[in-house]
Homo-oligomer: A and B are copies of this chain.
Amino acid sequence: MAATLIDGRAVAQRVREQVAADVAVFTAETGDQPGLATVLVGDDPASAVYVANKRRACVAAGIADLHAHLPADVSQDELVAHIQKLNADPQVSGILLQLPVPAHLDANLLVELISPDKDVDGLTAVSAGRLAQGVPGLRPCTPSGVIELLDHHDVELQGAEAVIVGRSDLVGKPLIHLLLQRNATVTVCHSRTRDLPAVARRADVLVAAVGVPRLIGADAVKPGATVIDVGINRLEEGLVGDVDFDAVREVAGLITPVPGGVGPMTIALLLRNTLTAARLQRGL
């Protein structure tokens, strides 16, 4: 029997509607609109599309769209000054520096300049530490979207065996802590794991976030498991996940497609983070 599909577009739409409703209440109660400051440097076409999508989503949710497009040859000092200005601006709830930036800029240094309370991508060391220590803060959007999908489908996490394939700062490592906070028994696999299918087969909840097309085959999935595919690999045939979808859907209980699974969740959680940031800054 084929697995039930997780419809990321539908769940993301629900989250966006809920954020819009919450933003309306926040704005009515405080007299202030949450605002997202997007920073796009240079003319990378893919980055331009990503930023445009985020800005449109903000407007639809009632979040102020505070955009700046800086030239590709902007100096590090100018960008530092820009971020410091955004940190100090009370209209700015969240700051999103679209990555990658041109090679002459120090992306890590620029990200670390972002005030942790405005770090809606959850990329700074402070945000990573707050997540690890379980204190309030802004969590990375994509891993938060994974948890949201699991919750939407009432997937039991407490006591479940969760296996994460991939240990990136963006997805794999934050998920360790998000899943631990939900009382899962968490295992992290990666390229040096000896028998990946055997380890993955232990999973009640399997998350693939490694960027290798169709790495996870049916032999790596326990019958009935929930399989979340964070991978988005561009092949000639189109977008392909880290999971061999056609084979695994015959084994899994629940599965995300690519595209239309985790992908749409990221912007939805960015909107929620922007509202969370606005609240954090007011001690709400």
Q: Is A188 an interface residue (CB 8 A)?
A: yes
Interface residues on A, range: 20 to 34
Q: Is A233 an interface residue (CB 8 A)?
A: no
Cβ–Cβ contact A159 & B129, under 8 A: no
Q: Is A130 an interface residue (CB 8 A)?
A: yes
Decide yes or no: A194 and B159 within 8 Å by CB, A185-B199, A189-B185 being known contacts: yes
Which chain B residues lie closer than 8 Å to A30 at the CB level? none
Which chain B residues lie closer than 8 Å to A134 at the CB level? 169
Decide yes or no: A173 and B125 within 8 Å by CB, A185-B188, A185-B189 being known contacts: no
A sample of 12 more A-B contacts (CB under 8 A), given A126-B129, A180-B188, is A126-B126, A129-B129, A132-B132, A132-B169, A159-B192, A159-B194, A173-B180, A176-B188, A185-B188, A185-B192, A185-B199, A186-B188
Residues of A whose CB lies within 8 Å of any CB of B are 108, 124-130, 132-135, 137, 158-159, 161, 167, 169, 173, 176-177, 180, 183, 185-190, 192-194, 199
Cβ–Cβ contact B192 & A158, under 8 A: yes
Which one, B135, B158, B169, B177, contacts A125 given CB within 8 A?
A: B135
Residue of B nearest to A128 (CB): B129
Interchain residue pairs with CB less than 8 A apart (24): A108-B135, A124-B129, A125-B125, A125-B130, A125-B132, A126-B126, A127-B129, A128-B133, A129-B129, A132-B169, A133-B173, A159-B192, A159-B193, A159-B194, A161-B194, A176-B188, A180-B188, A180-B190, A185-B188, A185-B192, A185-B193, A185-B199, A187-B187, A187-B188
